[in-house]
Amino acid sequence: MSRTLFGRPLRGVAFDLCVSVLVVLFTLVTAAQPGVWAQPGGWPSALVGLGMAVALLFRRGHPSLVAAVVAALAMVQVAAGWGPLAYDVAVLIALYSVVKYAERLRDGVLAGAVAAVGVLLAASQTVSQAAWWATAIYFGLITGGVWLAALNVRTRRLYVLSLEERAATLEREREAEARAAVVGERARIARELHDVVAHSMAVMIVQADGARLMFDRDPDTARHAVKVVADTGRQALEEMRRLVDVLREPEPSETTTGPDADTPSIEPERRRAAVAELPALVGRFRDAGLRVGYRAGDVPAALPPGLDLTVYRVVQEALTNTLKHAGVGAHATVVLGVDDGLVVRVTDDGRGRPPARPAPSGGHGLVGMRERVGVYDGRLTAGPRTGGGWQVEVRLPLPSTPEAEVIAA
């Protein structure tokens, strides 16, 4: 955590204080020298140096104003005929600061022009024409070198700031796209769960009507129908709870890393998908060029409709990612099994033919899978395999009560 002083980073304040103290030392040492080494102007000229040192304390926050103050004090020094002194290093520091920190480069150009005039005035105080030329060239080279160095640092500083701003903008855009994808996926899940609940309600109505008609003729059949109504109602209530949870704001905490991908339209948007249709889905991906193996272990024959749909969508998204990123000809494996819950594992070897055009990055296939799995309190992991390729694994808790058999009246 960076510490600040007067709203500025502590390191910057300490550095500026050291610079000002250095100018003060140059001023006091030369002012206190006796005899031939005495500073021209004595202590009055030392006051000019002290004023420059104080002004440099504000060189980062107000570079143009500091440069103007230091230039005015330097002009007082030249007008008094004190000549170049050791504390005039403050002029170079102020020039460097205005070029580097000023909001507009125009201020730095103007400061450079003023410094050039100061060089000529300082050189004019020499005793001979040869000494004038030598002094002017010497001071001009030093001043020009400082100005160019500050310009180079300013250019690099602005370039870094532009990169940071661009990175921050891209990060905000990615977050906005991710939020939009989550909202869209939640809406899609809500529509599908709505269909599941509507189907359960239709089953309950049919069974209730059948039970009403069979109460007198076949009480056993009526009792079984009532049991189906109760089981279906409990399941519909559970699906309704999940539907409400989907529409709430908080998101699941699991995070995944890897190449997300938008799911292409493998099937009509409103088609009812289920685990029983996975072989047909695998066949469509085989027709698209993937070599897909499919194994289903001891998966319960009757899963709740919403969970059934989630398994189907997870396999669909994972195989779509394989086709887009591993390429045509890659070998993929889809495995369904039961191990402390329902396990869905989709792996690929990543050795397909690279697509003619690289798959666009920044998709949200994994975002959709994470949302679906989170609805059923499951866990999603995705990442590269040690031997190459990619693996997606989903673990979903199985319902405690199996789905009851539906008997129509």
Please state the rounded mean pLDDT for residues 68-80: 87
Q: Are residues 392 and 281 in the same domain?
A: yes
What is the predicted pLDDT for the residue at 271?
47
Amino acid at 340: D
Query: Is 36 part of a structural domain of the chain?
Result: yes
> For strand 342-348 and strand 331-338, is the pairing parallel, antiparallel, or unpaired?
antiparallel
Total structural domains within the chain: 3
- Per the model's pLDDT, the better-predicted residue between 188 and 163 turns out to be 163
Residue 19 scores a pLDDT above 60: yes
Full-model pTM: 0.44
Q: Which long-range contacts (CB under 8 A, 24 or more apart) does 3-11 make?
A: 8/60, 8/61
Q: Are residues 9 and 109 in the same domain?
A: yes
Query: Is 194 part of a structural domain of the chain?
Result: yes
- Note whether 49 and 87 are within 8 A (CB): yes
What is the predicted pLDDT for the residue at 4?
67
Reference 404, options 157, 203, 151, 109; nearest CA is: 203
Q: Are residues 71 and 119 in the same domain?
A: yes
- Per the model's pLDDT, the better-predicted residue between 268 and 273 turns out to be 273
Last residue of a domain, one of 229, 247, 265: 247
Residue 272 scores a pLDDT above 80: no
- Domain extent, residue 348, equals 275-396
Residue 355 scores a pLDDT above 70: no
Query: Is 56 part of a structural domain of the chain?
Result: yes
Query: Helix (H, G, I), strand (E, B), or coil: what is residue 112?
Result: helix
Q: For the segment 239-257, what is each residue's pLDDT rounded down to a tens digit?
A: 677 666 656 655 444 434 3
- Per the model's pLDDT, the better-predicted residue between 360 and 2 turns out to be 2
Q: Are residues 234 and 343 in the same domain?
A: no
Residue 306 scores a pLDDT above 60: yes
Q: Are residues 279 and 242 in the same domain?
A: no
Q: Are residues 11 and 115 in the same domain?
A: yes
**CATH number of the domain that residue 313 is part of:** 3.30.565.10
CA separation for the pair 140, 408 (Å, rounded): 101
Query: Helix (H, G, I), strand (E, B), or coil: what is residue 346?
Result: strand
- Note whether 388 and 341 are within 8 A (CB): no
Q: Are residues 240 and 352 in the same domain?
A: no
Could you tell me the pLDDT band of residue 407, with boundaries at 50, 70 and 90?
very low
CA–CA distances in Å: residue 114 to residues 87, 118, 297, 384: 18, 6, 85, 62
Number of H helices, E strands in the chain: 10, 7
Q: Are residues 283 and 243 in the same domain?
A: no
Query: Is 148 part of a structural domain of the chain?
Result: no
Give 230-276 as a DSSP string: HHHHHHHHHHHHHHHHHHSS--------S---PPP-SS-TT----GG
What is the predicted pLDDT for the residue at 345?
93
Residue 183 burial (CB count, 10 A): 11
Could you tell me the pLDDT band of residue 36, with boundaries at 50, 70 and 90?
very low
What is the predicted pLDDT for the residue at 93?
92
Q: Which residue has the tokens 């502590």?
A: 10
Q: Are residues 60 and 116 in the same domain?
A: yes
Amino acid at 397: P
**CATH number of the domain that residue 228 is part of:** 1.20.5.1930
Q: Are residues 291 and 370 in the same domain?
A: yes
What is the predicted pLDDT for the residue at 294?
92
Query: Is 182 part of a structural domain of the chain?
Result: yes
